[in-house]
Amino acid sequence: MSTATTHTAEHPAGEYHGGLLRWLTTTNHKDIGTMYLTFSLIMFFVGGLMILAVRAELFSPGLQLMQPEFFNQLIGVHALVMIFAALMPAATGFANWMLPLMIGAPDMALPRLNNWGFWLLPPAAILLTLPFTLALFGIGDGALATGWTFYAPLSVQGGMGVDFAILAVHILGISSIMGSINIIVTIFNMRAPGMTMMKLPLFAWGWLITAFLLIATLPVLAGAVTMLLTDRHFGTHFFDAAGGGDPILFQHLFWFFGHPEVYILLLPVWGLMPHVLSTFSRKPTYGYKAQVYSFIAIGLLSVVVWAHHFFTAGMPVPALVYFMFSTMAISLPLAVLFFCWIATMWKGAMTFETPMLFAVGFIVLFGIAGLTGLILADVAADAQYHHSYFVVAHFHYALFAGGIMGVMTGVYYWLPKWTGHMYSEKLGKLHFWLTVVSFNLTFLPQFFLGLAGMPRRIPDYALQFAEFNAISTLGAFVLGFSQLLFAWNIWSCVRGGPKVESRVWEGAEGLEWELPSPPPHHTWEIQPVIK
């Protein structure tokens, strides 16, 4: 991209409200993106506080702080909050802010729907957490205590917290589906003239596949929890063998959504990585086409591998073998991605600003998630690892080091573009090192705990697990409190700081860097033409 002509004439048509009304009524993709990201940050701390309580309980053997029922509620709601209210909204916030800027669109294609998609989130978050408050007033017995997976028959027998979670999942699902439809339509219909699909930024490609996965799988989750609801209150027998149903049916339906959900959380991050790596290596992205085809291959494979989440539940051997090999097949396109990321950096003039630190940290730690995932995919080995802390460590390497650290990469990379100010590089680097060290301190011991046989979702444990659990808890508290640096850094960057140019990073390429920082309220009202 050589010449930069920006067209940012203020649009006279909009009657813009000030104050709270602006945020309630907005149809502007940047406002909505900001709301998504703010909501995500708040819920990140809410979910984090829940799990710090859990880690405090696990600091030493025995029950110190809470009853097992409350412990179970905390882990389940922690997972639902982190997945649906922290990670997914962060990715949607990125999409809202950046997709129109990157593809030269005047806004998202369906702006009012976009606003609705966001405003469904707070009611859902309230529904998820309200049972805790109600229990304080003697109504019900707290939130869902089944873990985030809602497995029948436990969830069929559970208290009213399960109903709250079911309805919350319905509303979150509607929100994500509306967001996905909007993103697909935006990418298909709003690209700048001349931007063919194979010139699309990889971030947009990653999100496009994510959106298709959400459309394919979230309705199935909605169906599954609806069956759960009717089993609980309207006498059906979907998950009850006495009526000809089967509890394992729930696991099939849940993981048909649940496995693609992992890629839903990760694909936006994989899409953003090449941009960051290429910027700070001052080199074009290596293997654009290979990455696009890998995204597509991973998207397709992800919907046909779900049963590896319950190898031990009982399945015919041919099914076990099929799900094992199809799961392992995902590592091939994923390895292509890793290769492209590394090749992008190779021979590059690399500099290590905070986003680049997070990106490189992401590659190393997410690599561990991928390799331990291969171990879990092995049917024979999985019998030992299943439902142990090994699994907990594995998916936190995937979803914290892969998901959350990927989101942090994006936040540091784009924050100067959004605010027009540079964040404190010193605090950013401190935040990175504290996060990486304490993250490994928290989760590396959990691999060994799992290998030694410690089951997950248990508030008490045998004495031989005490040391590693204590280390893990210490790490978790450092990890949790280091995130205050992150929040503080963002806050002070929003408030002020050194002004930045339109091209914030000297190696950055793409339409978004041709716009001023911060970009005006409406951008690309006259679309650029890509040659």
Residues in the chain: 531
Residues between 319 and 348 that touch other proteins (CB under 8 A): 342, 345-348
Please report whether residue 267 would count as binding other proteins according to CB under 8 A: no
Q: Around Cβ 301, how many Cβ atoms within 10 Å?
A: 20
Question: Please, is 167 exposed, middle or buried when counting C-beta atoms within 10 Å of its C-beta (0-12, 13-18, 19+)?
Answer: middle
Let me know: does 308 contact 377? Beta carbons within 8 Å. Answer: yes
Q: Does 350 bind other proteins (CB under 8 A)?
A: yes
* Per-residue interface string for the shown chain with other proteins, residues 230-249, x marking contact by CB under 8 A: xx-xxxxxx-xxxxxxx-xx
Q: Which one of residues 82, 144, 224, 377 is an interface residue with other proteins (CB under 8 A)?
A: 224
Q: What are phi and psi of 421, to 5 degrees?
A: -120, 155
Cβ proximity to other proteins, 154 vs 174, nearer residue: 174
Please give the residues from 99 up to 118 whose contact with other proteins meets the rule CB under 8 A.
104-107, 109-113, 115-116
Q: Does 282 bind other proteins (CB under 8 A)?
A: yes
Q: How far apart are CA 88 and CA 86, in angstroms?
A: 6
Q: Which of 42, 56, 60, 123 touches other proteins by CB under 8 A?
A: 123
User: By CB under 8 A, is residue 300 in contact with other proteins?
Assistant: no
Helices (H), 190-330: 202-233, 247-281, 288-302, 317-329
Range 359-418, binding other proteins (CB under 8 A):
none
Half-sphere exposure in the Cβ direction for 20 (13 Å, CA): 0
126-145 mask for other proteins (x: CB under 8 A)?
xx--x--------xx-----
Name which of 51 and 184 has its Cβ closer to other proteins.
184
Max CA pair span of the chain: 71
Q: Could you give the CA distance from residue 6 to residue 511 in angstroms, rounded to a whole number?
A: 10
Does 11 bind other proteins (CB under 8 A)? Our answer is: yes
CB of 442 to other proteins, least distance (A): 26
Question: Using N-to-C axis directions, what is the helix angle for 88-103 and 160-189, rounded to 10°?
Answer: 10
Region of residue 158 (left: phi > 0; alpha: psi -120 to 50; beta: else): beta
Interface with other proteins includes 4 (CB under 8 A)?
yes
Residue 199 binds other proteins (CB under 8 A): yes
Contact region for other proteins (CB under 8 A) — 70-78, 209-217, 402-410, 465-473? 209-217
Give the one residue of 73, 180, 285, 473 binding other proteins; rule: CB under 8 A: 180
> What are the structure tokens assigned to 23, written together?
């945020």
Q: Which of residues 459-498 bind other proteins (CB under 8 A)?
A: 498
The Cα 304–Cα 298 span in angstroms is 10
The residue among 171 and 262 lying less far from other proteins, judged by its C-beta, is 171
Q: Which is nearer to other proteins, 2 or 463 (CB)?
A: 2
